[in-house]
Amino acid sequence: MSNANTSATISYLSIIRVLIVFLVVFFIYLIRDALALLFVSIIFAAAIDPLVDWLQKRKIPRAASILMIYIILLAVFSLVIILMIPPITEEIGQIISNFPAYYEKVSIGIHTMQSQADDNNIQIGSDSIVKTLQSLSLTLAQTTKSIFVTITSIFGGLFSLLVVLVITFYLTVEENALKYFIKFLTPLKYRAYTMDLINRMQYKIGLWLRGQLLLSIIVGILVYAGLLLFGVKYALLLALIAAILEIVPYLGPWISGIIAVFIAFSDGSIIKVLLVALWYLLVQQAENNIIVPKLMGRMVGLNPIIVIMAIIIGFKLGGVIGGMMGVPVAAAIAVYLTDIIKEKKGEKIGLPKSDTDT
């Protein structure tokens, strides 16, 4: 009889636990937008925290240090907007208005190449290329129709940015208070490891964000310099696209390169097309063999395949914001998985004190 009561009790407890888990997951789903803003704030706080610590060591209060960083970032951001937005907006308008003409030029060029290749019994698949261009044209038309919707959503984006800045401010100012709260919630047995794990996750996420930003700037400058040298139209816009797509390893540079080659091809100069393709190839080789190993490899150390999968999963789960958060989440998880591997090997867990203190 006692066994039956025990089984019934276990069943009831199991049902209650499942219901609790379901309610927690459902609640997280309901507040997913707020959690996304919180996580973005944590990433930003991790990125600026070393600089705030450095200023604090020079007798500048944390709150004043953060405000100083915000003012500098706002000044730089405003300068970038003043210098870049007008020409980029003009270039986007020109591309949209001139795209049918570019499409016609490229189609004629492809058919000319195909006819010349046919004389030598060579197939280059011009029909499939033209169909791809037609699809691209329709996509662009649909994109232009959604511009108004995008513009009207800017106000929501500005509000979200303000929320992120405020949360980042308090997370950085009250860094110790937040860590003490987490420490209070953690069982005594795991407190030391949990606090060390949080410090290392914060350290790695900050490294990723600073490294990714620096990588995008370097690639954007290199692409802009080359396109400007070759006289390619919309050099600034193409450089911005290359910088943004740097977040996607391997695929991003190829996509930005194809767009640039298409623009160069519309000028009707095969030499310019070859120069642009060669320049993008050189930039990608420099990135893969010099910049990334010395910059991102040492700073973050994430495998490119993991980065790509993290971005894809992030986009599937949370759209654009999810895609942006995919890599830092993977970086944080990688810290914990590395600890598990090191523990099995009997190696020491954690970073040197000098690293975590920065």
pLDDT number for residue 349: 65
User: Distance between CA 143 and CA 152 in Å, rounded?
Assistant: 15
- pLDDT bracket for residue 341 (50, 70, 90): confident
pLDDT digits 0-9 by tens, 286-339: 887 777 766 665 666 677 777 778 878 877 776 666 776 777 788 888 888 888
pLDDT number for residue 10: 56
pLDDT digits 0-9 by tens, 91-135: 777 766 766 666 666 666 666 655 655 555 555 555 555 555 556
| DSSP secondary structure of 57-70 | TTT--HHHHHHHHH
- pLDDT bracket for residue 225 (50, 70, 90): very high
The four Cα atoms 19, 23, 29, 34 give a dihedral, to 10 degrees, of: -150
pTM over the 0.75 mark: no
pLDDT number for residue 160: 75
The percentage of residues in the chain with a pLDDT greater than 90, rounded to a whole number, is 6
Whether the Cβ atoms of residue 209 and residue 255 lie closer than 8 Å to each other: no
Residue 79's H or E segment, with its range, is helix 62-119
Domain boundaries, the chain: 32-142+150-173
Whether the Cβ atoms of residue 253 and residue 272 lie closer than 8 Å to each other: no
pLDDT number for residue 222: 94
Whether the Cβ atoms of residue 133 and residue 107 lie closer than 8 Å to each other: yes
CA atoms within 13 A on the CB side of 254: 4
Higher-pLDDT residue of 285, 295: 285
pLDDT number for residue 353: 46
- 59 phi and psi angles, rounded to 5 deg: 70, 20
